[in-house]
């Protein structure tokens, strides 16, 4: 048989305890009305006190949880107001954005511009996805830097356009001067003058600078461009030359894995092909005005 649990509830006075023991030991024994009333009054009072304490504990727990939630909400609001960057989207059409320094950005449809809350600080940094035209307020002390896909465009005050399409990154300069940096590289920046266009032509190892105005209508022999190739596969170099000058250039198939490192500040098609031939120790054969061959 199981042993009875002799542990008794806690009573504040000896009389109540004796009554409780008497009930346990003699369940059929009746109490006097006075003792019965006194006992149950104390019992109900204890139950009521216990319930009130339990409710108070719950209230304290709920209050603590509510206070924690309020602090979290206040912290989130404070973060959004103080640190979270402003994000501008041009979902359905071009969007005009006026920045705190007075600069104006025309964000092309589908574009996204992110601006830190600290703007404008020592440097005026913005982060661009897509295309945009920038009208930057002049400030020699606070450079304006557009962070794009793999490139940074740094200006002091000017009007320029940044376009990004896949791996292609372009900058068209209309007024002033800009410097284009490739992220992760410590080399000197590409400096643009008004009416010049920078492009990597979709190839990270390529940097080209051409005239923005009438560059498509200019005769091939009059076209000129600045190029920088940094360990660029010859196949990509040839694609750049053909695309820039509208010509066809053939080269020996066994040079397919050759890497080209070359920098020309202002080159026509003939000058660029000549420099390429010298580096590869090849001869140039020109079939007509638009077809060239590099041969051994």
CATH assignment of the domain containing 255: 3.55.50.30
Q: Please indicate, yes or no, whether residues 174 and 250 belong to a single structural domain of this protein.
A: no
**Three-class secondary structure of residue 220 per DSSP:** helix
Contact 246, 283 (CB under 8 A): no
Closest CA to 130 of 146, 118, 154, 145: 146
Last residue of a domain, one of 133, 159, 192: 192
Q: Please indicate, yes or no, whether residues 74 and 90 belong to a single structural domain of this protein.
A: no
* Alpha-carbon dihedral 62, 65, 68, 72, rounded to 10 degrees: -120
Whole-angstrom distance, CA of residue 135 vs CA of residue 173: 11
- Whether residue 61 lies inside any domain: the answer is yes
- Whether residue 60 lies inside any domain: the answer is yes
pLDDT in tens, the chain (296 residues): 444 445 555 656 666 666 666 665 655 455 566 666 666 666 667 666 766 777 777 777 777 777 777 776 665 555 454 557 889 999 889 999 999 888 999 999 999 999 987 777 788 899 999 999 999 998 888 889 999 999 999 988 789 999 999 899 999 999 888 999 988 775 678 899 899 999 998 988 889 998 875 544 555 556 788 888 888 999 999 998 888 888 899 999 888 889 999 888 888 888 888 888 888 898 988 888 888 999 88
- Whether residue 143 lies inside any domain: the answer is yes
- Whether residue 44 lies inside any domain: the answer is yes
> 103 lies in which domain range?
85-192
Whole-angstrom distance, CA of residue 128 vs CA of residue 106: 12
Last residue of a domain, one of 161, 192, 223: 192
Last residue of a domain, one of 192, 209, 242: 192
Q: Please indicate, yes or no, whether residues 205 and 229 belong to a single structural domain of this protein.
A: yes
Strand ranges across the sheet with 124-129:
86-89, 112-115, 124-129, 144-147, 151-155, 178-182, 190-192
Whole-angstrom distance, CA of residue 179 vs CA of residue 270: 28
What CATH number corresponds to the domain at position 168?
2.60.120.1440
Whole-angstrom distance, CA of residue 7 vs CA of residue 267: 103
Whole-angstrom distance, CA of residue 11 vs CA of residue 195: 96
Q: Please indicate, yes or no, whether residues 246 and 184 belong to a single structural domain of this protein.
A: no
Whole-angstrom distance, CA of residue 259 vs CA of residue 145: 32
Q: Please indicate, yes or no, whether residues 92 and 46 belong to a single structural domain of this protein.
A: no
Q: Please indicate, yes or no, whether residues 24 and 91 belong to a single structural domain of this protein.
A: no
Number of domains in the chain: 3
Contact 234, 256 (CB under 8 A): yes
Whole-angstrom distance, CA of residue 175 vs CA of residue 266: 20
- Whether residue 7 lies inside any domain: the answer is no
Q: Please indicate, yes or no, whether residues 144 and 217 belong to a single structural domain of this protein.
A: no
Q: Please indicate, yes or no, whether residues 95 and 186 belong to a single structural domain of this protein.
A: yes
- Whether residue 1 lies inside any domain: the answer is no
Q: Please indicate, yes or no, whether residues 128 and 227 belong to a single structural domain of this protein.
A: no
pLDDT digits (tens, 9 = 90+) for 206-262: 899 988 755 445 555 567 888 888 889 999 999 988 888 888 999 998 888 899 998
Whole-angstrom distance, CA of residue 268 vs CA of residue 173: 21
- Whether residue 3 lies inside any domain: the answer is no
Whole-angstrom distance, CA of residue 97 vs CA of residue 239: 37
- Whether residue 2 lies inside any domain: the answer is no
Whole-angstrom distance, CA of residue 246 vs CA of residue 264: 19
Contact 269, 241 (CB under 8 A): yes
């Amino acid at each position: 048989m199981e042993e009875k649990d002799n542990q008794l509830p806690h009573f504040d006075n000896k009389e109540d305890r004796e009554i409780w023991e008497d009930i346990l030991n003699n369940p059929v024994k009746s109490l006097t009305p006075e003792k019965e009333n006194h006992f149950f009054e104390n019992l109900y009072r204890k139950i009521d006190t216990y319930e009130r304490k339990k409710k108070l504990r719950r209230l304290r727990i709920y209050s603590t949880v509510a206070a924690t939630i309020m602090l979290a909400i206040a912290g989130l609001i404070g973060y959004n107001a103080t640190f979270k960057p402003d994000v501008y989207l041009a979902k359905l059409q071009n969007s005009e954005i006026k920045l705190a320094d007075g600069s104006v950005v025309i964000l092309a449809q589908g574009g996204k511009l992110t601006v830190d809350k600290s703007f404008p600080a020592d440097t005026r940094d913005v982060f661009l996805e897509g295309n945009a035209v920038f009208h930057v307020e002049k400030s020699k002390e606070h450079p304006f830097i557009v962070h794009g896909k793999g490139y940074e465009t740094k200006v002091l005050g000017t009007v320029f356009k940044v376009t990004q399409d896949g791996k292609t990154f372009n900058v068209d300069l209309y007024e002033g001067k800009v410097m284009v940096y490739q992220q992760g590289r410590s080399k000197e920046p590409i400096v643009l003058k008004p009416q010049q266009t920078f492009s990597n032509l979709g190839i990270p190892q390529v940097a080209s600078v051409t005239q923005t105005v009438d560059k498509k209508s200019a005769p091939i022999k009059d076209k000129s461009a600045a190029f920088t190739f940094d360990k660029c596969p010859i196949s990509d170099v040839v694609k750049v030359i053909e695309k820039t000058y509208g010509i066809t250039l053939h080269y020996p198939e066994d040079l397919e894995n050759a890497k080209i490192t070359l920098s020309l500040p202002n080159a026509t098609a003939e000058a660029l092909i000549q420099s390429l031939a010298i580096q590869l120790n090849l001869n140039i054969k020109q079939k007509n005005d638009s077809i060239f061959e590099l041969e051994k």
